[in-house]
Structure 1
Amino acid sequence: MLCMNDNALHTVAARIREQAAAYCESDNVPGFVAGVYHAGEQIVVAQGTANVATGAPMLDDTGFLLGSVTKVLTTTLVLRQVDRGLLDLDTPVVKHLPDFALTAPGAADKILVRHLISHTNGIDADLFFPDAKGHDALKAYVTGLASNCGTLFEPGEQLSYSNGGMIVAGRLLEEVTGLPFHDLLARDIYGPVGMRNSSTSAEQAILRSTAIGHFLDPETMTAKPTNMFTLPDTWGPAGGTPIGTIADLLAFGRTHLAGGVSPSGTRVLSAESTALMQRVSYDTQSPNTPPMGLGWVLYPFGDTTVLAMSGASPGGVSILCVLPEHDLVFAAYGNNPGAIMLQDQILRWLLSEHLGVRIPRLVTETEQDVDLTPYMGIYRSNQLRIDVSIVDGLLEERTTYEPADESQERIFTEFTGGVTSGPPQRYVPIRPGLFAPAGYPLEVFDGYLRLLLVSYHDIRDGQACFRNGGGRLTRRV
């Protein structure tokens, strides 16, 4: 006989199955899998196809690339070493990694351990893809920073989503523990959390049911499999290689619900460190960039905070959300990038309908008489250029990838399904410094997709110094 919560989760499962079936059919997302843990009960729902080339179905226990959700696992590993006394968050990284350097002399010396995992390090390496394999991959990545990557800002002065910071954190973990990152991840996270079906390589994943990513073929308008399963080993700690299941992610989320204690009762992280990860470490005070904890992004939905991280992989996207105030964890994966829209729909439904959380409007209206001239110009970060102009009274952005070499170009284009530049995107002003992509209803931005909003910061001499899109900064040149 079902208890009240069983009935509630039965309704949740039916709702997710209905939404996933409709979305997969209409939006060329071949497969989708999601799970919810709430107050002691758990459901997992799978829909569609894991691999269109083989016809393999998406199952409840199908594995998938965690993508940037891995960043919360990496941060948990860092805090485990803090608990053990091997690391101090306020120690310069170079104390443990004396070879860590950037193109600007002395810049790396200012970066503290906490800057790596709070995305406040300023390392300009978001699209730096050195192609190295094996146990020395992270060492090769850090070595490559010195001649390839500079800084966006002084450590602690700004917030910019940082793949480079997490990868340096992974190399730091190797140095202080003496273990390769993937071995440490398996020993100190997968094992004690109970992530029994998680792995760290394609070689391991091929031994079990595993989904692959897909992109929309512009000629046939159907989903085609990705040509690249994982990013290089150099991106492991940022989300390039770890693979898991929905049940595994729910177990990890439940560990953070329970103050660092896994569902099996194993202490993974101290209560103090678990709470520290959930505490605001930096807040840009801009609607398009939620406050950042350590590892977690802290999304405000009215009075409720959602600890979240999404993860892009070649042709796929995952998400993990933890709601400490409601004892709930939500995890999902879809094997086409467009699945992020479905994940946002389900999250908002869980909040408003299942939990009764009132979600206030983030953007209620646009503003007509905003001076657009401070935002015009060229903005750059690592291998990325954004040209901002005024067209028909709106801001227009043109984004172009400018590869550093053939290897970088190959990896990036395979990761994006062959795209090196986006079509021009126009933006309507919400207020000075904050813009929404034209053509979207404003209610879209109430949820996770507030990341689609663009903001401009640090006006000097009538010009913005930084553009912020999706939490990532580019700097005016």
Structure 2
Amino acid sequence: MNNNALHTVEAQIRDQAAVYCESNHVPGFVAGVYHAGEQIVVAHGTANVATGAPMLEDTGFLFGSVTKVMTTTLVLRQVDRGLLDLDTPVVKYLPDFALNSPGVADKILVRHLISHTNGIDADLYFPDAKGRDALKTYVTGLASNCGTLFEPGEQLSYSNGGMIVAGRLLEVVTGLPFPDLLAHEIYGPAGMENSSTSAEQAILRSTAVGHFLDPETMTAKPTNMFTLPDTWGPAGGTPIGTVADLLAFGRTHLAGGLSPSGTRVLSAESTALMRQVSYDMASPNTPPIGLGWVLYPFGDTTVLAMSGASPGGVSILCVVPDHDLVFTAFGNTPGAIMLQDQILQWLLREHLGVQIPTLITELEQDVDLTPYVGTYRSNQLRIEVSIVEGQLEERTTYEPADESQERIFTEFAGGTTSAPPQRYVPIRPGLFAPAGYPLEMFDGYLRLLLVSYHDIRDDQARFRNGGGRLTRRA
């Protein structure tokens, strides 16, 4: 590929970032693209408005849930070594693993943990513990605090809990703490030279912090909490690194498990297995899932993707095997996800010539809304669904289990514990779009804003799916 093509990409991202950040109050943004042997990194704006530190090409940031692909890679490394088997029950390796309904944990296989099909109802469970025993503390707490949303393998629901249990499983079978494992078996071999596993390490170098918009002044204010607790490490709470590091990790997956320096990080078979469909909800708002990766269909092109929320920030990693391309980015307000989506679609359409079909072409008028009305629950979350003026209206409320959980969740969410009511219009039975949004907005990553309802029995939906996460009819 000639250098000019990537110069065009660099200029495009620079322009797009400047315009979006200015009009949407995003202090800073950093992005990188690797394509066919060349790579570029673009930085814009400010890493921390409190200090005025600039966002630089090598500024670190929280990976957030992009870490889940690393945790999955670690699991598959142990499978390659014969230390783990994907189709063995987790309790065989982790006898302490239990949930608050007797016997349900026994049915969860290792595979279910990393394919988001485990059903563990712990998505907002934030036990506050630090250090060597943090993951052990997390798993111990599940037995009294968390149940299941569905039978293992029955449904798909994005699972922080599954990844954290996988992290503890890794500690038990390798004898190493999860942060050490991540540093020695992912960062080192993949060539992620500026990545760390804690705030204490990250403070030794330049690091961005997240921000939330003040609704009254519309100015970005730094978060009061840099990272989630250590208990959330394997789900993305604590790992920090740079765009160049995520490009190196993405390139490792592009090259069948071989890092840019030629070090074997994962077998070609396991790298391929991560890309195979593990579960497909057959619903436009929830792409099929592999192991670790979400498999976004853009026409005939599959993008392996994972985005990661951190307190006041959002990262993304996309690998496009058909076109030898990796895209990664971080923005330091939650709204930066829309800029990441815009850049991804520009890269696919303009740079790679991928035809992206329209996902939602029209709305259906005469859809019976009654099967979806009711109360849906998951761990510490309640969603009330009613019919208002011919549309579905959802009211979402966080119901903290204790003061510690409330403190952590509130800081993570930027100070709010309930969302304003949101109206939805029917696309077809069981599938809804937030009212007032242009339909083309859902062609890319933001298809996750659509809401679907599943498993209709006796004219009532059993599950609501928003953002890939299930809540169950109460």
2:268 alignment partner in structure 1: 271
Shift of 1:276: 0.0
Q: 1:210 aligns with which of 207, 212, 217?
A: 207
2:14 alignment partner in structure 1: 17
- Residues of 1 paired with 2:23 and 2:288: CA distance? 34
- Residues of 2 paired with 1:64 and 1:5: CA distance? 30
1:40 alignment partner in structure 2: 37
Deviation per CA, 1:403-458: give whole Å up to 9, x if none: 00000000000001101000000000000000000010000000000000000000
Q: 2:65 aligns with which of 54, 60, 68?
A: 68
- Residues of 2 paired with 1:45 and 1:134: CA distance? 35
- Residues of 1 paired with 2:87 and 2:438: CA distance? 43
Shift of 1:290: 0.2
2:359 alignment partner in structure 1: 362
1:349 alignment partner in structure 2: 346
2:189 alignment partner in structure 1: 192
Residue 301 (1) aligns with residue 298 (2): yes
Q: 1:387 aligns with which of 375, 384, 389?
A: 384
Q: Secondary structure at the match of 2:2?
A: helix
- Residues of 1 paired with 2:379 and 2:63: CA distance? 24
- Residues of 2 paired with 1:38 and 1:210: CA distance? 26
- Residues of 2 paired with 1:384 and 1:257: CA distance? 37
Shift of 1:219: 2.1
Amino acid at match of 1:29: V
Shift of 1:5: 2.5
Deviation per CA, 1:64-116: give whole Å up to 9, x if none: 00000000000000000000000000000000110100001000000000000
Amino acid at match of 2:173: V
1:459 alignment partner in structure 2: 456
1:371 alignment partner in structure 2: 368
Deviation per CA, 1:166-208: give whole Å up to 9, x if none: 0000000000000000000000000000000000111111110
1:248 alignment partner in structure 2: 245
Deviation per CA, 1:110-156: give whole Å up to 9, x if none: 00000000000000000000000001000000000000000000000
Shift of 1:62: 0.2
TM-score (ref. length: structure 1): 0.99
Residue 445 (1) aligns with residue 442 (2): yes
Segments of structure 2 that go 5 or more residues without pairing to the other structure are none
Shift of 1:279: 0.4
1:430 alignment partner in structure 2: 427
Shift of 1:24: 1.1
Equivalent runs, 1:17-416 vs 2, <5 Å = 17-416=14-413
Amino acid at match of 2:208: A
- Residues of 2 paired with 1:24 and 1:429: CA distance? 32
Deviation per CA, 1:354-376: give whole Å up to 9, x if none: 00000000000000000000000
Amino acid at match of 2:93: H
- Residues of 2 paired with 1:212 and 1:325: CA distance? 34
Give identity over the alignment, percent.
88
Deviation per CA, 1:280-305: give whole Å up to 9, x if none: 00000000000000000000000000
TM-score (ref. length: structure 2): 1.00
Amino acid at match of 2:188: G
Q: Secondary structure at the match of 1:385?
A: strand
Shift of 1:61: 0.2
CA RMSD after TM alignment: 0.4
Shift of 1:220: 1.5
- Residues of 1 paired with 2:350 and 2:132: CA distance? 47
Amino acid at match of 2:18: A
Amino acid at match of 1:288: N
Deviation per CA, 1:20-64: give whole Å up to 9, x if none: 011111101000000000000000000000000000000000000
Q: Secondary structure at the match of 1:266?
A: coil
- Residues of 2 paired with 1:24 and 1:365: CA distance? 31
Moved over 3 A (4+): none
Shift of 1:218: 1.5
Amino acid at match of 1:303: D
Q: Secondary structure at the match of 1:349?
A: helix
Q: Secondary structure at the match of 2:99?
A: coil
1:419 alignment partner in structure 2: 416
- Residues of 2 paired with 1:110 and 1:291: CA distance? 22
Segments of structure 1 that go 5 or more residues without pairing to the other structure are none
